[in-house]
Structure 1
Amino acid sequence: MADNIVTCECGVKVRLPDSERNRSFQCPKCKKLIALTTDLKVLFSAPLDVGQTAVCPICQSDIQPNESCVQCPDCDQTHHRECWSEIGGCGTYGCQQAPAPVDSDKTSQVTLTAWGDTKECPACGEVIKSIALKCRYCSTTFDSTDPMSLNDLKNQYDRGERVDSMRNSVIGLFVFSMIGILAPLALLISLIYVLPRRKQLSQSGPIISILAWVSVALNIFYTLLMFLFFILSN
């Protein structure tokens, strides 16, 4: 349903699954935590104004000028965006935006991280929340909430570079396949590139995978047309 769709600050429209309608949700693209109100409206973040000071009522720490923060629409308290999203609402007791109390019978079902409340960013060394997929200090993003070493971070970047390289290659093949007169050559190149990389393509996202197979199909179609035209002309 349309009321389950929110727009992240990065511009991506995200559908909220029923299991995530507790207002603790993360954008699958930019990895930023999305702060939602009780009526599932996105609270867009902004840094503090020059000279402004604030203490997050959730973590009880000072909000730094370069940190993303959100303001409660009901009580006007300023929060860290990550803190708001982590608990699913305002940290002020009695506020209409505060999260509903957790049923004590269900608390044992809540998934907790095995690494504690905080972890160290492998890039800048700052202490960040254990659930963070993006460092609030250096903006480094992580594939997992598990603590990472520098080697783990390097491997993550290497995987990202391979995916980017494959994405660019597939786009190039698709553009090349649009040149009908070169279809036989493009078909050969497409088959040599796509067939051995079927598994990697499936991990690169549906759009890239579809483009790869569409380029193969187009080249087959154009090659058959050229073959039929050659036969008919003779």
Structure 2
Amino acid sequence: MSNIIQCECGASIRLPSNTEKRALRCPKCKQGIALTVHATALKTVPVDAGETVATCSICQSSAHASEQLVSCPQCDQIHHQECWAEVGGCGTYGCSEAPAHEKDVSSSQTQRSGWGDEKTCPACSESIKSIALRCRYCGTDFNTVDPLTVKDLRRQVKHESAVGDLRNWTIAIFVMSLIGCFAPIMIFVAFGVLLNKRKELKAAGPIYLVLCYSAAILSAIYSFLMLAFAIISGLN
């Protein structure tokens, strides 16, 4: 059986060789992949609108329309695909598909292990070099060489998405400020972004902070010229 599967988003994912590490996520769309103890992907079934289903054994909540469910091949209990992928197995106590419980490791010990020879990729669970900023198996990029958990990876993805949205908005504000008739509106928008998102703009890149300042200045100039023209026209 091939150890490479296809995610719904189209990405090819290499299944981990270590069957104990089953908390797997797609490196592209970050959707959880439900794996059995034999490292085979469980088939998911979407819940139709209005359909009554069982309660997830992990989160203890009912499934809703458009959510993906998996059924444990051993105990037949229903789980959310995300819940199964999050814990790395079945939520039923004593089931052979349940994840193996490991001894707690202190945070300092985990931190030190990041500077050793290897660390674990939080997306595909493969072992990679401790200094790697990209997983050579799934291609996931990391913003630090320190070991990351799945939650850390989620936070990184959300941050990158927020930064990308802010960059797009800044470009749109600058383009709109070049159109003189929008100046009275864009002056408030540009200064509002500068007041509330200045640190985020600086982190997104100096060019975006410059663009936002330029948009505010251009809008102020256009607004002043429009006001002056209106006053002169009124006097005449």
TM-score (normalised: structure 1): 0.50
1:139 alignment partner AA? G
Structure-1 residue corresponding to 2:167: 167
| 1:85-131 deviation per Cα after TM superposition (whole angstroms, max 9, x unaligned) | xxxxxxxxxxxxxxxxxxxxxxxxxxx98630111111011111111
Q: Contact 2:122 / 2:149 at 8 angstroms: preserved in 1?
A: yes
Q: Distance in 2 between matches of 1:194 and 1:175?
A: 16
Structure-2 residue corresponding to 1:125: 125
Structure-2 residue corresponding to 1:178: 178
Structure-2 residue corresponding to 1:207: 207
- Structure 1 window deviating more from structure 2 (187-196 vs 202-211): it is 187-196
Q: Distance in 1 between matches of 2:209 and 2:186?
A: 17
Q: Distance in 2 between matches of 1:119 and 1:192?
A: 43
SS at match of 1:159: helix
SS at match of 1:119: strand
SS at match of 1:165: helix
Change (3 A) 1:114 1:129: closer
SS at match of 2:131: coil
Q: Distance in 2 between matches of 1:181 and 1:158?
A: 35
TM-score (normalised: structure 2): 0.50
Structure-2 residue corresponding to 1:84: none
Q: Distance in 2 between matches of 1:138 and 1:189?
A: 40
1:183 alignment partner AA? A
Superposition pairs of residues 88-99 of structure 1, within 5 angstroms = none
SS at match of 2:204: coil
Q: Distance in 1 between matches of 2:190 and 2:115?
A: 45
Q: What is the aligned-residue RMSD (CA, Å)?
A: 1.6
Q: Distance in 2 between matches of 1:141 and 1:192?
A: 33
Q: Distance in 1 between matches of 2:114 and 2:187?
A: 50
Structure-2 residue corresponding to 1:222: 222
Which structure's relative contact order is higher, taking Cα pairs within 8 Å and 6+ residues apart?
2
1:181 alignment partner AA? C
1:148 is displaced (CA, Å) by 0.3
Structure 1, unaligned stretches of length 5 or more?
A: 1-111
Change (3 A) 1:124 1:154: same
2:138 alignment partner AA? C
Structure-2 residue corresponding to 1:140: 140
1:174 is displaced (CA, Å) by 0.8
Runs of 4+ displaced beyond 4 Å: none
Identity percentage of aligned residues: 42
1:192 is displaced (CA, Å) by 2.1
Structure-2 residue corresponding to 1:188: 188
1:175 is displaced (CA, Å) by 1.1
